Amino acid sequence: MPNVRLSDVAKLAGVSPKTVSNVVHGYVHVRESTRTKVQNAIDELGYRPNMRGRNLATGRTRMIALAFPDLRIPYFAELAHVIAEEASARGYRLLLEESGSTIEVERAILSAEEAGIVDGVLFQPSYLTSTEIAQHRRDVPVVLLGESIAPLSVDHVRIDNIAAAAQVVGHLAASGRRRIAFLCAEVPAPSETSKQRLIGYQQGLEACGLPVDPSLVVTGSVADADAACASLAAALDAGMAPDAVLCRDDLAALGALRALSERGLRVPADVAITGWDDITLASSMHPSLTSVRADGAQLARRALDLLLERIDGYDGLGRHEIVGHSLVVRESAPAAPAG
C-alpha cells in the first residue's frame, strides 16, 4: 500500500488540500461538519503528515543541533538531556553533533556543507576562537554555550566561572583549609575554562587572605579521571601537601580521590576535594562530592529562548547571558571543619 498523501484525504473527504491542512493543524475556523468529514477520511486512510513535504514548504525542520565535544563525558550527556527536554517542550527535536574536541570538526559544524537540516544550533566549542566564530556563515542561527570567549555578534549563555571558583575557595577556607590546590591546568596552555576557574581560584584565595602559591597549581591533562589522578599523584609524590583540592571538574575529582586514597590520605579528614558540574555520579560516589552545579534548567531555557528568537528573525547584537549556579556541599568537602 502506497503512502497516503494529504491530497488523498482531500479527495476522499471531498474538500481541498487547504482544508485538510487546516484540520491537521487544528486551525479553529473550520466548520464542525467539515472537520468531522476530514477527520474521518484521515482515520480511514491512516493518513500521517509527511514531514519532508512540510519541511520544504515551510522552510523549517523544527530540529536544532546540539554540538559539543563528546557524549561520553557525563556533563555533556546530562546537558543534552536537559536541553532535549526543554526543546521537546517547544516542539523541537535534538540532533547530536560530537566535535571530538577537534578544531576541524568544530569548523565543519559552523560551516556545514549542507543547509536546511536544522533550524539552529547550540554550540559549545573547545578550540574555535572568537574571531573564527564571528566569521561563520550567518544563515543558520547559533547560540554559544560554555566558557569560550564569544564574539559580540553571537549569543552566549554560561555561568560565572570566576565567581563560582572564588566561592569554592571561600567554602574551603571557611571550613579551615589553608593549602588549597588546583587540579589541574592543561599544558602547555590552560583551556579557557581552566583559565577562568584559575582566576576565580586566585581571587578566592586573595579574598580569604590566603597566600597564592603557584606550586599548588597542578598541571596536566584533563582528558579523563585517570589523567587527573596521575597528575595529582605526581605532584603529591613530589612533595605537594595540600589540605584541599579544587578540581576543575567532577571527573578530575574522581581521579583525585583515587590518588589521595592510594597514598593513605583520607577525604575529607586529611584533604577536602571539590568537583565541578555536579554530574549524577557526584552524589553517588563515596565520599559524595561537593561540586559546583550550573542551573541546567535555566541554562537550557535561556539558550533555547535566544536561539528561537534568532530563528524567528531577530538579527541584533549578541546577547551574553549568565545563568545561576550553586555549590552543592556534600561529604568530600563539608561545611564544618573536618576532624
Partner DNA sequence: CTGAAAGCGCTTACAG
Work out which of 36, 40, 44, 56 binds DNA, going by CB under 7 A: 56
Contact 264, 293 (CB under 8 A): no
List Cα–Cα distances, 242 to 220, 321, 332, in angstroms: 17, 35, 14
Shortest reach from residue 69's CB to DNA, in Å: 31
Contact 65, 122 (CB under 8 A): yes
Burial of 29 (0-12, 13-18, 19+ CB in 10 A): exposed
Verify binding: residue 91, DNA, rule CB under 7 A. Answer: no
Verify binding: residue 19, DNA, rule CB under 7 A. Answer: yes
Work out which of 11, 21, 153, 265 binds DNA, going by CB under 7 A: 21
> What is the C-alpha to C-alpha distance for residues 59 and 29, in angstroms, rounded to an integer?
25
Q: Which of a copy of itself, DNA, none lies near 183, with the C-beta cut-off 5 to 8 A by kind?
A: none
Helix/strand/coil for 246 = strand
Shortest reach from residue 88's CB to a copy of itself, in Å: 9
> Where do contacts with a copy of itself occur on this chain (CB under 8 A)?
3, 48-53, 55-56, 59, 61, 63, 70-72, 74, 77-78, 80-81, 84-85, 93-98, 112-117, 139, 224-226, 229, 251, 254-255, 257-258, 261-262, 280-281, 283-286
Verify binding: residue 7, DNA, rule CB under 7 A. Answer: yes
Work out which of 11, 39, 45, 54 binds DNA, going by CB under 7 A: 54
**Amino acid at residue number 165:** A
- Which is nearest to 145 in space by CA: 218, 214, 65, 226? 65
Shortest reach from residue 12's CB to a copy of itself, in Å: 18
- Which is nearest to 270 in space by CA: 285, 250, 291, 256? 256
Contacts with DNA, residue ranges (CB under 7 A): 3, 5-7, 14-19, 21-22, 24-25, 28-31, 33-34, 47-50, 52-54, 56-59
